[in-house]
Amino acid sequence: MSAPDPAEWAEIAPHPGDHDLPAGRHELHRSRLLTAIAQESRTHTSRRPLLRPAFALAALVVVAAGGAGLAVRSSDEPPASQPSPAATRSADRPTPPGALAKIQAYGTVRQLTDTADLVVRGEVVSVTDGRTVYRVAEVLYRAPVAPVSTEITLDTESVAPPGQPTVLYLALSDPEARVYAPLSADFGIFDLAGETATSRSSAMSVTGLRAEDATVAGRAFVTTLAELRQLARERG
Amino acid sequence: MVMESSLRARVRAGDPGAFAELFDQYARSVYNHAFRLTADWATAEDVMAATYLQAWRSRERVTEEGGSLRPWLLGIATNEARNHTRSNRRYRRVASALLASDFTLPDHADEVAGRLDDSRRIAAAIDALARLRRPEREVLTLCLWEGLDYESAAEALGVPVGTVRSRLSRARARLRTLVDAPPRAARPPVVDASLVQEGSQ
């Protein structure tokens, strides 16, 4: 036999039963673990050579959007993912790296938060004719000009599959029609798994919460929903 | 097995999502194992958290082939618990405090009954564990209550399979002697002076 027979032990060492962690502690420890992993990943990666293929791709995005931003903007039409004029008027808003363009590179979650008209948690309900109906479960931040209800419309089809929880950093792309678009395509989309938030794209991803970390460019950024909420609160 | 191999590969590659999965699947098991080895719920929580962080740091030791990663985690938890409960004397002191304490009871009558049963089971288990040496305690919890086979327990503890068998055999003999000798009510207290002197380990 390769394992003890529990019946033999029932009298001398009865099974004590299995117990759950106290309420809320599973989520707390999970969140702490993932934050620690993210921090250690950054430290570890900083010791590696930087010019990996993924890094080069991310760098290309930054160059296209930043240094040569105007070249990307090829018509007079407003960029689909650009924040609304009302949102961009704020005098105390930090300027993200690079000029406004269709794909604008954001370095930090703070930059996303400070640029967005609306930051919400929720999930896609349906996609029809190029537009997405998104059910809002929580508003993390809302600019005064940004209307919001339990369901909002997004001017894109590629946010997430229906039912996938996400956090979106949105610009009010059509104020009259109350239509939003994620900031700079995938930069403004975080997928949620429990309390863990992971940037949608590894190439189009922030690299830090409050400060950029170029050494982790080219990798999906992992943080927690609690951190996203905290940054939204800080913008107030 | 294919899923386990995939998870192993992702753990080895340092995929945070894989560690989130590991946490969701096995945190409860690690927590209960840690409690049995420390006799303290708060310490068990610390051990569980330390276990997962240590698992992350030692992820490159995970091979891509193999079964469940639970034995690996329980092995790490066992080491972490040793760091918290360095001696048998300390374990028995904590166990004694646990057994002497009143368990917090909820108001609802059904829950009270359930909690009392829980409390009795826990008390009986900790009482038994406190009468063993640490190596025996570790093997007993892994093989008997976590359901690992001898090979998995040996791998988790880094000892030969024969050592697992002999430790389990000693644990059984020791507990059997205690059960058979005096009536249960007349058992000596868990922190018996002779046992304490017998060995910090």
Q: Does residue A217 come out as left (phi exceeding 0), alpha (psi in the -120 to 50 range) or beta? A: beta
Do the chains contact at A37 and B56, CB–CB below 8 Å? yes
Among B25, B28, B137, which would you mutate to test the A interface (most chain A Cβ atoms within 10 Å of its Cβ)? B28
| Partner A, chain B 80-109, Cβ-Cβ below 8 Å | none
Closest Cα in chain B to A34: B16
**Does the CB of A5 have a partner CB in chain B at under 8 Å?**
no
Do the chains contact at B23 and A8, CB–CB below 8 Å? no
| Partner B, chain A 24-43, Cβ-Cβ below 8 Å | 25-26, 29-30, 32-34, 36-38, 40-41
Residue B190 has pLDDT above 60, yes or no: no
**Does the CB of A16 have a partner CB in chain B at under 8 Å?**
yes
Q: Which residues of chain B does A196 touch, with a Cβ-Cβ cutoff of 8 Å?
A: 16-17, 20
Instruction: Please state, in angstroms and rounded to a whole number, the distance separating the CA atoms of residues A162 and A141.
Output: 23
Closest-CA distance, B89 to chain A, in angstroms, reads 20
- When pLDDT is cut at 50, 70 and 90, the band that residue B116 belongs to is low
Closest-CA distance, A38 to chain B, in angstroms, reads 8
B82, A23, B114, B73 alpha-carbon torsion, rounded to 10°? -30
Instruction: Please state, in angstroms and rounded to a whole number, the distance separating the CA atoms of residues B29 and A148.
Output: 43
- Please report the DSSP string for A43-90 in residue order: HHHTTS-S--HHHHHHHHHHHHHTTTHHHH--SSSPPTTSPPHHHHT-
Closest-CA distance, B146 to chain A, in angstroms, reads 10
Cβ proximity of B84 and B43 under 8 Å? yes
Average the pLDDT over B66-91 and give the result. Answer: 88
Average the pLDDT over B174-201 and give the result. Answer: 54
Among A1, A19, A200, which would you mutate to test the B interface (most chain B Cβ atoms within 10 Å of its Cβ)? A19
Cβ proximity of B77 and B141 under 8 Å? no
Residue of B16, B48, B143 lying closest to A4 (CB–CB): B143
Closest-CA distance, A143 to chain B, in angstroms, reads 32
The pLDDT assigned to B183 comes to: 53
- ipTM for the predicted complex comes to 0.81
Instruction: Please state, in angstroms and rounded to a whole number, the distance separating the CA atoms of residues A33 and A46.
Output: 20
Closest-CA distance, B189 to chain A, in angstroms, reads 16
The pLDDT assigned to A185 comes to: 77
Instruction: Please state, in angstroms and rounded to a whole number, the distance separating the CA atoms of residues B90 and B97.
Output: 11
Residue B123 has pLDDT above 50, yes or no: yes
**Does the CB of B128 have a partner CB in chain A at under 8 Å?**
yes
Q: Which residues of chain A does B176 touch, with a Cβ-Cβ cutoff of 8 Å?
A: 12
Closest Cα in chain A to B53: A33
Q: What is the pTM of this model?
A: 0.52
- When pLDDT is cut at 50, 70 and 90, the band that residue B196 belongs to is very low
Closest Cα in chain A to B149: A3
Q: Which of A219-233, B43-57, B114-128, B167-181 has the lowest mean pLDDT?
A: B114-128
Say if strands A189-193 and A166-174 run parallel, antiparallel, or are unpaired: antiparallel
Residue of A9, A21, A33 lying closest to B31 (CB–CB): A21
Digit-coded pLDDT (tens) for B157-174: 999 999 999 999 999 998
pLDDT by residue for chain A (236 residues), tens only, comes to: 577 777 778 778 888 888 899 888 999 999 989 988 888 777 665 544 444 444 444 444 444 444 333 333 333 333 334 444 444 333 344 434 333 334 567 889 999 999 999 999 999 998 888 889 999 999 999 998 888 899 999 988 778 888 889 999 999 888 888 899 998 878 899 999 888 899 988 777 888 999 888 777 778 889 999 999 999 999 87
Closest Cα in chain A to B27: A26
Closest Cα in chain B to A191: B17
Instruction: Please state, in angstroms and rounded to a whole number, the distance separating the CA atoms of residues B63 and B168.
Output: 28
**Does the CB of B17 have a partner CB in chain A at under 8 Å?**
yes
Exposed, middle or buried: residue A9 (CB in 10 Å: 0-12, 13-18, 19+)?
buried
Among B38, B54, B56, B148, which would you mutate to test the A interface (most chain A Cβ atoms within 10 Å of its Cβ)? B56
DSSP annotation of A129 = T
Q: Which residues pair with A132 in a beta bridge?
A: A127, A154
Digit-coded pLDDT (tens) for B124-152: 888 889 989 999 999 999 999 999 999 99
* Alpha-carbon B56 to chain mean position: 20
The pLDDT assigned to A23 comes to: 87
